[in-house]
Amino acid sequence: MASTGEAATAHGKATPAGRSRWMIVALLFVATTINYIDRTMLGLLAPSLGKEMQWNENDYGNIVTAFQAAYACGFLVMGWLIDRFGPKIGYSIAITIWTIGHVAHGFAGSVVSFMAARIVLGAGEAGHFPSVVRASSEWFPQKERAYAIGWVNSATTIGVVLTAPTLWLFMTWLGLGWRETFIYTGLFGVVLLVLWLRVYSNPRERGKVSEAELAWIEHDPPEQIERLGWGRIVTKREAWAFAIGKFLTDPVWFLMLFWLPKYFASTYNVDLKVVLLPMIIMYLLSDVGSIAGGWLSSKLIHKGYTVNFARKVTMLIAGCCVLPLLFVSGLQNMWLAIVLIGIALAGHQAFSSNILSIPPDMFPKRAVGSVIGLGGFMGGVGGMIMAKSTGLVLDATAGNYTLIFAACTTVYFIAVLAIHLLSPRLAPVTV
């Protein structure tokens, strides 16, 4: 017997209905915000901690690389875990691990101990995006998925923007030191864990989703394959299309996340945890890009364009938005640099909303976590290379970012080309 979603599709009656799926987006939005507050705190504290701990650029590069290594390897484990046990259990484990790692920063006292704390944090945070995409594939049809992911992805920048006020609240208003701040902000992760366990379930288990909304959620054609194991996934060109795209583009976001505070401190003598307006402008622009990128590809699909056309054209447009980064290095006008960096961040986030939508386009739901894990692993490897090379380049060029920013502008076009060559139609995988 056909399911409600299949029956509705057969009669052409599936239309957007209900709001339960957007409550899941709201929950994932909050989770992403907390994830990025925990991830970003060290970056904002790095200029002052570097002086206190007497770090050079290479020391900080090693700390960032430790996070990237754990984040990369963690993706492989977390992706499999989420496919095996589902996003509810898998993400609960991830939240627990990264919260422990976040709190551990408060007890660190050397480069090695900070690296250890970042390793635990990175291993846990690797479970975030596999959970987001797997949950989105359960709650949203293909036509809406990129738009939903775009909203969730926009919370990455909300988390970054809120990190500075969070530090002000705990360190200035409450008068806590940086160690106590890491410890007490660990409560965010505890609250998130409780919320996730109480609220999340798949649409049919939730019991509060209307039949009309279920019909809309489930109206895509039924999957021909229930699940693919790792042995099959790594042989698929489609999986490597996604993984190579992440390998090339994720490092740009990590660069901005971990090195922008140091860039503004060294170039314009501005502490971003004190002067908030530059961060607000840059990251609000990136939010616009995240939502607009998801909206554009979803709109093109609604208008009858193929998923292949909608995703790739949107990613090309997003890549063009990163090009202003070429003109940032050497600018004396800080506010012009802020706008150009903000446009580049918007381009990255628009690209990210679409590339994260590709695995559910091609793979069955119970393989999505593993495919995201493979892509996240490759993105983490790229991030490690970027972190280490950035530290070495900056030490060798007396802090000149020209070469680094120039490299960032090319990778999006190479990524789209690689995706197109490996998956010309973004068609569902066959076995």
Render pLDDT for 347-365 as a digit per residue (tens, 0 to 9): 999 999 999 999 999 998 8
For the beta carbon of residue 130, count every other beta carbon within 10 angstroms.
31
Of 23-27, 261-265, 366-370, highest mean pLDDT: 23-27
The predicted structure's pLDDT at residue 9: 41
343, 207 in Cβ contact below 8 A?
no
- Per-residue confidence (pLDDT) for residue 157, from 0 to 100: 84
Q: What is the pLDDT of residue 431?
A: 62
pLDDT for residue 269 is more than 80: yes
Minimal CA–CA distance to 343: which of 327, 313, 321? Answer: 321
Does residue 203 fall inside a structural domain? yes
Identify which of 290, 281, 45 has the alpha carbon closest to the alpha carbon of residue 155: 290
Q: How high is the pLDDT of residue 226?
A: 63
Q: Which residue has the tokens 């507050």?
A: 37
Q: Does the residue 113 lie in any domain?
A: yes
| Interval 253-268 mean pLDDT | 84
pLDDT tens for 63-80 read 988 888 898 899 999 999
* Residue 36: HSE in the Cβ half-sphere, 13 Å Cα cutoff: 25
Instruction: Name the average pLDDT for the chain.
Output: 89
What does pTM read for this prediction?
A: 0.83
Pair of tokens at residue 204: 């049919």
- Report in angstroms the alpha-carbon separations of 15 from 8, 295, 298: 9, 17, 14
Q: Which domain holds residue 325?
A: 16-218+229-422
The enclosing H or E element of 62 equals helix 57-104
pLDDT band at 3 (very low <50, low <70, confident <90, very high): very low
192-196, 212-216, 247-251, 275-279: the lowest-pLDDT one:
275-279
* 8 has pLDDT over 60: no
Tell me whether residue 4 is in a domain. no
Q: What would the pLDDT profile of 105-119 be if each residue is shown by its tens digit?
A: 999 988 999 999 999
pLDDT tier at 224, thresholds 50, 70, 90: low
Instruction: Give the per-residue pLDDT at 11.
Output: 37
What's the total number of domains in the chain? Answer: 1
The reply to whether 188 falls in a domain is: yes
Distance between CA 410 and CA 175 in Å, rounded?
Answer: 44
Kindly state whether residue 67 falls inside one of the protein's structural domains: yes
Return the CATH number at 252: 1.20.1250.20
Q: Please report which confidence band the pLDDT of residue 272 belongs to, taking 50, 70 and 90 as the band edges.
A: confident
CA dist., res. 411 & res. 212, Å (int): 42
Q: How far is CA 109 from the centre of its chain?
A: 29
CA distance 250 to 299: 25
C-alpha pair distances (Å), 81 with each of 88, 90, 96: 11, 6, 14
Q: What is the CA radius of gyration of the chain?
A: 21
What digits encode the pLDDT tens for the residues 11-46? Answer: 345 677 788 899 999 999 999 999 999 998 998 888
Phi/psi at 132 (5° precision): -60, -50
If residue 292 lies in a helix (H) or strand (E), which one and from where to where? helix 277-302
153 belongs to a structural domain: yes
- CB of 27 within 8 A of CB of 151? no
d(CA 337, CA 408): 16
Looking up tokens 């976040």, which residue turns up?
A: 102
Is 9 a domain residue?
no
pLDDT more than 90, % of the chain: 62
Per-residue pLDDT reduced to its tens digit, 141-195 = 998 999 999 999 999 889 988 998 999 999 999 999 999 999 999 999 999 999 9
